[in-house]
Amino acid sequence: MDPSYPPSATARRAAAIARHLAGLSPRDAAAVAAALEPSACLSYAPPESSEPAPAFSPLELRSLLDRHHLRERDWAFRAMEESPLFCQRRSGGKVFVSPDYNEGKEGQREATMRRVGYLARRGVFRGWLTEPGPDAELRKLALLECLGMYDHSLAIKIGVHFFLWGSAIKFLGTKRHHDKWLSDTENYVIKGCFSMTELGHGSNVRGIETVATYDIKTREFVINTPCESAQKYWIGGAANHATHTIVFAQLHINGRNEGVHAFVAQIRDEHENVMPNIQIADCGHKIGLNGVDNGRIWFNNIRVPRENLLNLVADVLPDGQYVSTIDDPDQRFAAFLSPLTLGRVNIAVNAVYISKEICASFH
């Protein structure tokens, strides 16, 4: 906490912690409350506002740690510093930004979504899905790293939208899907999530129970949650904001199970109302990342057009014939998991930028 923090901020932090301990007995709660009273030791000044200049060049250290797209990173940092949405504070002639974790669950979620909207208007996400080439990919990772340094909830919220929903559209879909959804995804006209995990199966994707049955008469897929263990669980973005989702389901055609496939389904309308025959529940408060709205989803025989099957790997023709470019079912299944690859890369990227922050704090 820097010296510009008013004393009331410390009191609010203490009160927030006390609320988490509300289940204690009255006598224990009173003791905890007394221990959490604001104390002089909580007055803290960031080292960078008071320490002497380092014996080496911080710019050289930064160049070593960041390596690429330094100008773009600085632009992203300035964009955050310039907006009150990022909780600016000034001390020692410098601008500090950090989230207010004293806000409740809903407050943190809405703050995260407002920040996403601001960053979209500033053009931070321009080209993230539509610009080809390795330089565009490295720029995207550099900017995501900057946002994660501010707040990991912000990086996760954006990551689900671009690296899971967006990557599924881009890498599992074909031109008809790209034309319909990629641009609107990049511009946040729609907000995507990724419905793979189920309560009864976790990361065992082969064992998911959600079913998509092809109706030859209407040329639609009927997506259904047949039991409680088949509910889509811990889906980032589902509880409050997502308008669309990628649904992973067992594809049934004429009584035959063709295995796990990916479908696009709309779960909210343009007014943020949940679509008919869809039930969404909130996963609730977490010990961290409360800026991400994790939710549960049930599908009650919703219908999606045949064209909503992401068909790069396999397709269903209007007459119900199943066709695939990959004959081996195991290889076909592996191809459907490809959108997760970039997400796994991001886990390593997250570890790197957190390590950078630690390194920089000890300069």
What are the sequence ranges of the domains in the chain?
Answer: 61-183, 186-345
pLDDT the model gives residue 41: 52
Average pLDDT by stretches of 10, the chain with 363 residues: 51 65 58 58 59 80 90 96 94 88 94 98 97 95 93 95 95 96 97 96 90 98 98 98 97 95 97 97 95 98 98 96 93 83 78 75 55
CB atoms under 10 Å from CB of 137, counted, come to: 14
**Strand duo 220-224 + 244-253: pairing:** unpaired
Residue 1, pLDDT score: 41
Per-residue confidence (pLDDT) for residue 3, from 0 to 100: 45
Backbone φ/ψ region at 138: left (φ over 0), alpha (ψ -120 to 50), beta? alpha
Structure tokens at 303: 């219908």
Cα separation of 14 and 37, whole Å?
Answer: 7
pLDDT of residue 347: 80
Amino acid at 80: M
**Tell me, what's the pLDDT at 56?**
82
Domain 61-183 has CATH 1.10.540: yes
For the chain, strand residue ranges (E) read 88-91, 94-97, 192-195, 211-215, 220-224, 232-236, 244-253, 256-266, 278-282, 294-299, 302-305, 314-316, 322-324
Q: pTM for the whole thing?
A: 0.84
pLDDT number for residue 65? 87
The architecture of the domain spanning 186-345 is: Beta Barrel (2.40)
